[in-house]
Amino acid sequence: MKKRVTGIGGLFFKSKDPEASKDWYKKHLGFNTDDYGCTFWWKDAEGNDCSTQWSPFPEDTKYYEPSKKEFMFNYRVEHLAELLETLKAEGVTVVGEMEV
């Protein structure tokens, strides 16, 4: 089987006060925060530069819709278009359109 998920591209969560959340993580855990949260830079097994984004969002964000969850994970995948077709063939409901 081909690789599907190769890592985590982003961790996003709702917060009552996103600025206070970023400040807390910066002060207590050393996150290098900016307007969007914190970007963690790393290299994959082949030595390619990669990043994982960590970001608090306001509680009333519509960004995660149609999901009603308090969080969202974005996964790094190989060959996204091919993977989406495979998932559809396996009976998985794919919501929305692929973004490139």
Pairing verdict, β 71-77 and 37-43: unpaired
Longest Cα–Cα distance in the chain? 47
Instruction: Report the pLDDT averaged over residues 63-67.
Output: 91
Compute CA 73 distance to the chain's CA centroid, rounded to the nearest angstrom: 4
The pLDDT tens digits of the residues spanning 2-33 come to: 778 989 999 999 999 999 999 999 999 999 99
pTM beyond 0.75: the answer is: yes
Indicate whether 60 pLDDT > 90.
yes
The pLDDT tens digits of the residues spanning 66-84 come to: 999 999 999 999 899 999 9
Residue 48 one-letter amino acid: N
Q: Which long-range contacts (CB under 8 A, 24 or more apart) does 24-32 make?
A: 25/54
Give the CA distances from residue 55 to residues 4, 44, 51, 87, in Å, rounded to whole numbers and listed in that order. 24, 21, 13, 27
